[in-house]
Amino acid sequence: MSENTVRNWLVLAGIVFCLAFCLFPFIYMLVISLSTRADFLSQRASFKFTLDNFNAVLTDGSLHFPDYLRNSFLISLASAFFCVVIASLAAYAITRLQFPGRMSLLFFALAVSMFPQIGLVGYLFKFMTRLGWINTYQALVLPYTAWILPLSLWILVSYFSQIPRELDKAALVDGCTYRQILCKVILPVAAPGVLSVFLLSFIFAFNEFMFALMLTTDYRARTVPVGIALFQGLHGQTPWGNIMAASVVTTLPIVILTLVFQRHIMAGLTRGAVKG
Amino acid sequence: MKVELTDITKEFTSLRGRVVALDDISIKIDEGEFFVLLGPSGCGKSTLLNLIAGLEKPTAGRIQFDDKVVADTDRRIFLTPKERNVAFVFQSYALYPHLDVFENIAFPLRIARIEKAEIKKAVEQAAATLEITDLLAVRPAELSGGQRQRVAIARAIVRKPNVFLLDEPLSNLDARLRIAMRAEIKNLQDKLGITTVYVTHDQVEAMGLGDRIAVLNRGKIEQIGTPESLYEKPAGIFVAQFIGSPPMNIIDASIIKADGKLCVVLGNQKLVIPSEKIREIEGLKENHFILGLRPEHITINPPDNAQMLTATIHSVESLGRETAVYLDVDGLAITALCDREGMGKGRQVRVRIHLDKMHIFKGER
Ligand SMILES: Nc1ncnc2c1ncn2[C@@H]1O[C@H](COP(=O)(O)OP(=O)(O)OP(=O)(O)O)[C@@H](O)[C@H]1O
Ligand SMILES: [Mg+2]
């Protein structure tokens, strides 16, 4: 065997190990969701294939899983939408207008995003109670938008600042108003960035747990991560099969989104840090 | 459309403090004129163009299009680029990367909400004028530099602007294409008859294109005039050296009287001043001045026997049709243009200086 072949084999082995290490929980999740018994790894039980878990999760009204899924989608969509709108307006102002404190504003946003969630949640609960918003969509959309906004802003600022100023000037000469410049030139030119911000915001909101746990009380606004976590209380024992089936159903759209748009997301995250 | 700038000043405040980009500039540009702004990098050419377009506000001064005031700091008037109806061609072309060529050219019309059929007609006509009809479906990224340039110009002419502004539109092109496009722009402007302001730092381009040229330096106008007048009668050392290639020789010279005749001293040698220039020399208050002499007004080893200097050939550079010879006259560096062979480096030559063609500048360099 030549040196090259050895090296290739070693690299391959490394990749397989890493993949297995990362994917093991997911594979375990998938297997359990398709198994009749969660404890099939013990000697007393053996693996038997079944779709009962999925069936239960998707159709059993008492589990409310479809409700959670719908809530999650709508809340995440709304959060991502508001994030993109607000972040693009802010990024446009920061990159195009000469006002004092532009940079400090950006760093302030970054600092705010470092705030631990747990430090906010108590106050948020009081706030939402006062507004009478507990267990409504807006109780989650509002904090999600605020929480994801700094990252969105940073990504869009780095995208917008790479669009040459001459393009703005050309649009201005061609008769655009500032709003038209944003809508007809800047946003379309930065479309990959806008898309990646949308997807990232969506995924962040979709995965969020703590706010959703504190600010919702039942299936009318509860999101999937909280819903799954609270499955266990419903019956006497922990319904591992149902939990895993629900997790698979929830993970799938995110995985698909990420696979389809991974290039945009990566570009969005590394834009400005890496050239090209 | 006539364009008139009156006492225009533009200051920027930036991290390095206040920068005066334009200092009290007044220019009148005639209807249908091809007007060139020429100057070195950073002299304020683009700033001036942006002020005419309405992309920047002047710090002080007034701008008029015919009788319409488009900017006046005293009366607080400022019209946007849209209201001024100007067209702008940028150095980087600034094509919209997400639109194809047709939509790029149509963009200003779409913003103006013109009817679809009319847009199609106008775009096709502009495309035909610039011979880019076969490129209409292509995205800008797939175009060559020259093609992008044409698209940018097509976008500028498609809506019949009052004034046509071009900011170094050819500087990203290779030499051959630049010459071809230069001729095309000139033809197009002749045909359309739109008042045009063209910015360049290339004096050859300026001389070839301009009906008149304004030479800018550090935010001030050095001289405004036709290409010929700038070449023949430069108002100062800056213009004299900026226009013409190789540039004019600028030599510190002093005047002495020898045998009852006024002479110029160059290095250790002296030349009698010809009668045409006596009056001008006598008008000088001091006995030294700055002598400007174009390289083509120096002859090396002439056949006749008029008064000569002796010089050493320092180096020789072929320019194709002509040869630039760098001479050393007692330590003074002088460039001459000649068309003859046999200019060996280090050789001693006799040099005839056509003092009747010299330019006399007062003051210091
Ligand atoms: N937005 C700005 N803020 C601060 N200073 C500026 C700004 N724009 C231009 N300047 C300064 O004004 C001066 C003139 O700039 P301008 O762009 O008009 O030069 P230019 O003649 O077009 O040069 P070039 O040939 O390199 O394009 C320069 O000193 C420049 O640094
Ligand atoms: Mg410029």
Rounded Cα distance between B126 and B106, Å, is: 10
Domain end, chosen from B242, B263, B278, is at: B242
Co-location of B25 and B83 in the same domain? yes
Contacts of A184 in chain B (CB under 8 A): 111
Q: Indicate if B337 and B305 belong to the same structural domain.
A: yes
- Residue A170 to residue B112, Cβ atoms within 8 A: no
Q: Choose the closest CB to A188 out of B98, B108, B111.
A: B98
- A183 lies within 8 A of chain B by CB: no
At A40, list the tokens. Answer: 């099939």
CATH code, domain carrying B207 = 3.40.50.300
Q: Do B254 and B229 have their domain in common? A: no
Band of residue A276 on the pLDDT scale cut at 50, 70, 90: very low
Query: Which residue in this structure is represented by tokens 């200019």?
Result: B343
Collect all residues from B whose CB is shorter than 8 A from any CB in A.
50, 53, 55, 80-82, 86-88, 90-92, 94, 96-98, 107-108, 111-112, 155
Q: Which is it for strands B212-217 and B34-38: parallel, antiparallel or unpaired?
A: parallel
Cα(B333)–Cα(A201) distance, rounded to whole angstroms? 68
Q: What residue type is assigned to position B171 of the chain?
A: S
Contact call for residues A199 and A264 (beta carbons, < 8 A): yes
Interface contact flag, B87 A189, Cβ < 8 Å: no
pLDDT digits over B48-84, tens only? 999 999 999 999 999 999 999 999 999 999 999 999 9
Q: Please choose from B46, B90, B197 the residue to mutate so as to test ligand 1's pocket, defined by most ligand atoms within 8 A of CB.
A: B46
Joined tokens for residue A75? 């809340």
Q: Considering its fold, how many domains does chain B have in total?
A: 2
Regarding whether B189 and B174 lie in a shared domain, the answer is yes
Q: How far apart are the first and last CA of chain A?
A: 38
Host H or E run for residue A258: helix A240-270
Verify that B171 and B154 share a domain, yes or no: yes
- pLDDT (tens digit, 9 = 90+) per residue, B189-210? 999 999 999 999 999 999 999 9
Residues B114, B259: one domain? no
CATH of residue B340: 2.40.50.140
Q: What is the DSSP string of A109-173?
A: HHHHHTS-HHHHHHHHHHHHHHHT-TTSHHHHHHHHHHHHHHHHHHHHHHHHTTS-HHHHHHHHH
DSSP tag of B170? T
Same domain, B220 and B71: yes
Residues B7 and B42 in one domain: yes
Residues 6+ apart with CB under 8 A from B261: B272, B273
Mean pLDDT for chain B overall: 91
* pLDDT classification of A275: cutoffs 50, 70, 90: very low
The model's pLDDT over B163-192, given as tens digits with 9 standing for 90+, comes to 999 999 988 888 888 888 899 899 999 999
pLDDT at res. A239: 82
Query: What residues of A are in contact with residue B55 (Cβ under 8 Å)?
Result: 169, 172-173
Q: Show the domains of chain A with their CATH numbers.
A: 64-270 (1.10.3720.10)
Residue B280 reports pLDDT greater than 80: yes
Say how far apart CA B89 and CA B109 lie, in whole Å.
16
Give yes or no: residues B228 and B272 share one domain: no
Identify residues whose C-beta is under 5 A from ligand 2, the ion: B 46
> C-alpha A260: how far from its chain's center?
15
Is the pLDDT score of B89 beyond 60? Answer: yes
Cα distance between residue B312 and residue A104, in whole Å: 64
Structural domain that includes position B51: 3-242
For residue A171, the CA-to-ligand 1 centroid distance in Å is 21
3-state secondary structure of B261: strand
Non-local (6+) Cβ contacts of B204 within 8 A are B245
Q: What is the ipTM of this complex?
A: 0.84
Tell me what pLDDT residue B262 has. 87
Based on the fold, state whether residues B259 and B114 are members of the same structural domain: no
Is B236's pLDDT higher than 80? yes
Same structural domain for residues B223 and B267? no
Q: Which of B190, B216, B242 is the last residue of a domain?
A: B242
Looking at B195, B222, B242, the residue that finishes a domain is B242
Mark whether B225 and B169 lie in a shared domain.
yes
Q: How far is the CA of B202 from the centre of ligand 1 (A)?
A: 17
* pTM, two decimal places: 0.83
Under a CB-based contact definition with an 8 Å cutoff, are residues A224 and A246 in contact? yes
